[in-house]
Amino acid sequence: MSFNVLSKYEAKKLDEFAIQSKFISYEKLMDNAGKLSAQFFLEKINNPFNKKTLVLAGKGNNGADAIIMYHYMKEYGVEVDLYIFDYAKSKKVMNQYNISFEETLLTTEINIFKSYDWYIDGIFGIGLNKVVIGKYKKIINLIKNKNVISLDIPSGIHCDSGKNISDTFVEPKFILSMGNYKYSDIINFGKKNFSRTKILDIGLPDTDNFSTKLIEHSDIKKIVKQDNSLRNKYDQPCNSIVGSKTYPGAAALSIKSALVTGAGYLKTFMPQNISNIISSNDGAVNNYVGKGNYLIESDLKEILKLGFVKKKSPVLIGPGLGKLETTSKLIQNLLACIKSENSECVLDASGFEPLYRSMSIDDLPKKCIMTPHEGELKKIFPNFKKDDIIEFCKSIIPILDSRVLLIKGPVNIIISSKGDISFINNGQSSLASAGSGDVLAGMILGFLSRGYGVDNSTMIATYVHGFCSQIFSRKKSKYSMSPSDLIKTIPIALNELCL
C-alpha cells in the first residue's frame, strides 16, 4: 500500500483532527508513541538489556514522547537514564508517569554523556525552524557519531525540506516516524536515512485526504494488467523521434529500453547519418530517416506522412536530438500536431528545447509526460527552488493542467494528471550515470504502448527503473551500473513484478 507523506502543517492538523473528533485522546496518542518506541528498542537493538541508554527529552511533544519512552524502557528492565532540557515544560508528563526530578540526569559533564551505548533523540520535533544554539547545540554535538534513535525526526533537520537548518543536527541510526512519513523522511537527508526509518502506528486515523504518497512495491503490483495472450505486434505500437550525430547513444538507449519493456511495433525517425548505428544495434527497430546529421524543421512533412503522429501510437521526442534552433522548431511543430491529435507523448532531454525558448506549458499536448532532471526543470521553470521542492510542485499543478511531470533525482517526484504528488524512492546511487535517463524515457514509452496511460506508465517505469538498480546491486555491483546493464536487468525486474 502507498503511504501518506505529510508536511509539518498536515501532520499537526491530523493530530488535531484525531483528538478533536475523539478518534483518540491526546494522552493515548502520546502513550502509544512512547510505548511503541520502547518496544522498538527491545525488538531491534541487539542485546538491549546489556545496553546503557540515555533519553534526551526536549520541551515539546517530541520531548514528551521521549519521557514516556523512558518510562516504558525502565519498566521493561532496560538500563536507562533521562535528561530533561526544560523541567517546567516537562513537569506535567513527568507527573503523569511518576517520574521524579531526582531520578533525572542533572549534569552535562562530557565524560558522563559519552559513556552511553545508545541515545534517544527527543530533543526537537517537526516544528523546528531556527538555528540550534546553547545547551541544545552542545549536547547534539556530544552525540555526533554515536548510536542514536531519533523520535519522529532527527533534531536539527527541517521537516518540510529534509535539510539541516544549521551545522548542528543529529545523524541517527534509526528514525521512528509517528503515524506517517514526513517530507524529511524522504527527500535530501531523508534519502540517506530512509532504509533506517520505521513508521509506528500510534493510532491516528487512516485517511486518503492527503495528495502526497510514497509508492511501494505493492502499489505497482495492483495496477499490473493481465497480458493478452492473443495480441500481435501491432496491438502495442509506439514511435520515437530521436538522435543526432552528436548524441547517437541516447537514441539507441531509449529505443532498446522501449523494446525490452514491451513495445510491440516501434517506428523511429532519426537523422540519416546515424541510422546505421541504430540498425546495427537492434534489427527490431523500424527506421525512417531524415537527412544529414540532425533532424530539421523541414522534416516535419515526412514525419507526418509516415504516420508518426497518430492517436493510438504514443511518441517519444527528445533523447539525443541536440540543441539546434531548426531542431527546436521541428519539435515545437510536432508537439502542436500531437496536441491537435490528442495523442500521448513523452518529452525528454532535447525535447525541452522549445520550452527554453518561446513555447509555454500550455502549448504542450494534454497527454504529455515531461521527464526533466533538476537542471532542466530550472530552465523550464525559472522560479524553481530546490530548497522547497514540494511547495514548488504544489504551485505548478495549475500550470501543468493535467500534464504529467516526473522530476528525476535521488528521489523521483511525480505530479500526476490529477495533480497528486508521488515519491518513488527505490533507486540506488548507481543510477546516477549518463544514459540512465534515456533508458527511463524509453521505458515510459514502452508502458504507454502497452496501454497503461500517462499516469501509470510514468509510475511503473520509474519504479521498475529503480528496482533494476536494487536487483543489480544484489547480484553484481552496488557502486556502478552502465545503461546497458540497466537494460539487461529490465526483464528480470518485470518478471519479479509480474509485468
pLDDT at 110 over 90: no
pLDDT at 373: 96
> pLDDT digit string (tens) for 374-419?
999 999 999 887 778 999 999 999 999 999 999 999 999 999 999 9
Q: What sign does the dihedral 192-194-196-202 (CA atoms) show?
A: positive
Tens-digit pLDDT profile for residues 429-469: 999 999 999 999 999 999 999 999 999 999 999 999 999 99
When pLDDT is averaged across residues 221-244 and rounded to a whole number, the result is: 85
The pLDDT value recorded for residue 202 is 96
Q: Per-residue confidence at 106, pLDDT binned at 50, 70, 90?
A: confident
Per-chain mean pLDDT for the chain:
93
Asked whether the beta carbons of 412 and 423 are under 8 A apart, the reply is yes
Cell numbers of 269, please? 525517425
What does the pLDDT read at residue 1? 60
For residue 6, name the pLDDT band (cuts at 50, 70, 90). Answer: very high
Query: Which residues make up the CATH 3.40.1190.20 domain(s) of the chain?
Result: 218-496
Q: What is the pLDDT of residues 83-95, one digit of tens each?
A: 999 999 999 999 9
315 and 341 Cβ atoms separated by less than 8 Å: no
CATH 3.40.50.620 fits 218-496, yes or no: no
**Model pTM?**
0.92
Q: Is the pLDDT of residue 282 over 70?
A: no
- What's the CA gap between 71 and 32, in Å, rounded? 12
3-17+26-210 maps to which CATH number?
3.40.50.10260
**Short-list 139, 144, 65, 56, CA closest to 104:** 56
CATH 3.40.50.10260 domain residues, the chain: 3-17+26-210
pLDDT digits (tens, 9 = 90+) for 16-65: 999 999 999 999 999 999 999 999 999 999 999 999 999 999 999 999 99
Average pLDDT estimate for 295-304: 95
Of the pLDDT bands very low, low, confident and very high (cuts 50, 70, 90), residue 284 is: low
Rounded to an integer, the average pLDDT of 330-334 is: 97
pLDDT tens digits, one per residue of 143-187: 999 999 999 999 999 999 999 999 999 999 999 999 999 999 999
Residue 214 CA from chain centroid, whole number:
7
Taking alpha carbons only, the member of 177, 172, 300, 316 closest to residue 237 is 316
Read off the pLDDT of each residue in 121-135 and give the average, rounded to a whole number.
93
| 8 Å CB contact between 264 and 451 | no
**Residue-level pLDDT at 301:** 95
Angle made by CA atoms 354, 360, 361, in degrees to the nearest 5: 105
184 secondary structure, DSSP code: G
Mean pLDDT of 352-378: 96
Calculate mean pLDDT across residues 120-133.
94
Apex 132 CA angle, 126 and 136, nearest 5: 95
Q: Above 90 in pLDDT, residue 234?
A: no
Whether the CB-CB separation of 273 and 293 falls below 8 Å is answered with yes
Cell 540506488 maps to which residue? 428
pLDDT at position 126? 93
pLDDT of residue 273: 84
Q: How far apart are CA 67 and CA 61, in angstroms?
A: 10
Whole-number percent of the chain with pLDDT over 90: 82
Look at residue 278 and tell me whether its pLDDT is greater than 70: no
pLDDT tier, 285 (very low <50, low <70, confident <90, very high otherwise):
low
Using the predicted structure, report yes or no on whether residue 229 has a pLDDT greater than 80: no
Q: Given this model, what pLDDT does residue 235 score?
A: 80
Q: How many CB atoms lie within 10 A of CB 52?
A: 12
Contact 212, 180 (CB under 8 A): no
Judge whether residue 283 has pLDDT over 70: no
> Given the C-alpha cell 516535419, which residue does it identify?
300
Give the pLDDT band of residue 287 (cuts 50, 70, 90). Answer: confident
With contact defined as beta carbons under 8 Å apart, do 233 and 264 qualify?
A: yes
